Amino acid sequence: MFYAHEFWVRTTHRVLDSVEELDCDERVREAVVVFVHAEAEDEEQSSKVLTKMVKNLKWHAGKFGTKNVVLHSFSHLSSSSASPEFARQILADAQNRLQSVGFTAQMTPFGYLHEFSLHVSGESLGRVFKEI
In sequence order, what are the residues at sequence separation of 6 or more whose Cβ sits closer than 8 angstroms to the Cβ of residue 81? 37, 38, 39, 40, 75, 87
Say if residues 72 and 32 touch (Cβ distance below 8 Å). Answer: no
pLDDT score of 77: 62
pLDDT score of 14: 94
Range 2-121 has CATH code 3.40.50.620: no
Choose between 132 and 31: higher pLDDT.
31
Q: Give 51-100 pLDDT, tens digit per residue.
A: 999 999 999 999 999 999 999 998 766 778 999 999 999 999 999 999 99
Q: What is the mean pLDDT of residues 2-30?
A: 95
The domain locations on the chain are 2-121
Percent of the chain residues topping a pLDDT of 70: 98
What distance in Å separates the CA atoms of residue 130 and residue 119, rounded to the nearest whole number?
A: 20
